[in-house]
Amino acid sequence: MKLWLDDLRPVPYGYEGAKSVNEAKKLIQEAEHNGIEIEALDLDHDLGDYADQGGDAIRLLDWLAERGTFYPVEIHTANPVGRANMERILARYWGEQYW
């Protein structure tokens, strides 16, 4: 499974879409439960009206790091500060090879 987390941009072909962190967590947990490989997480940072449903996408990275589940991550946010913060988490917990 490839997961696209974004509140505004259309979901690319071949991806499962989520608009909130809570929705993304649910899709990840369902995939794990069903033995579906998680190939990539492609994340926006700012989730607008959906931020009240789990926070901005950086909270998904926090949750994954706490669990020790380090799936490959791409970031497609236009927010430079959000991107830098997400990249710091990835560098710290994922290491450079995963993103």
Residue 95: predicted pLDDT: 86
Per the structure, the complete domain to which residue 91 belongs is given by 2-98
Residue 99: predicted pLDDT: 53
Residue 97: predicted pLDDT: 59
Q: What is the dihedral of CA 34, 38, 39, 45, to 10 degrees?
A: 150
Overall domain count for the chain: 1
Mean residue pLDDT across the chain: 95
Ranges under pLDDT 70 in the chain = 97-99
The torsion region of residue 14 among left (phi > 0), alpha (psi -120 to 50) and beta comes to left
Nearest to 98 by CA among 46, 53, 39, 47: 39
CATH number of domain containing 34: 3.40.50
Residue 3: predicted pLDDT: 98
